[in-house]
């Protein structure tokens, strides 16, 4: 049981040292009036995620409309 207490204590103190409270930094970043929408204020990574998501949504919409059009056409008899 002593070994378990020691291992739990080292894990909890190690994680406490690594974590930093950066809430005030993030508040300054997201409240800054720079003309960007909030979903793009995180930088290039947010822009890439936004463009990827928009592209996939657009591609899925086109794919669905294409197959809707394809299935609405009558099949030619052979």
pLDDT of residue 12: 57
Radius of gyration of the chain (CA): 26
C-alpha to C-alpha distance for 31 and 38, rounded to whole angstroms: 9
pLDDT in tens, 3-62: 676 666 655 555 556 788 899 998 998 999 999 999 899 899 999 999 999 999 999 999
Q: Which residue has the tokens 């909890």?
A: 12
Q: What band does 76 get if pLDDT is binned at 50, 70 and 90?
A: confident
Identify the pLDDT of residue 74: 87
CB atoms within 10 A of CB 4: 8
Please tell me the distance from the alpha carbon of residue 68 to that of residue 78, in angstroms, as a whole number.
Answer: 22
């Amino acid at each position: 049981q002593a070994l378990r207490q020691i291992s739990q204590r080292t894990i909890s103190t190690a994680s406490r040292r690594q974590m930093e409270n950066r809430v005030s930094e993030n508040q300054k970043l997201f409240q800054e009036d720079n003309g960007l929408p909030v979903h793009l204020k995180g930088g290039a990574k947010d822009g890439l995620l936004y463009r990827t998501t928009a592209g996939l949504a657009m591609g899925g919409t086109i794919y669905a409309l294409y197959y809707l059009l394809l299935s609405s056409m009558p099949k030619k008899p052979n």
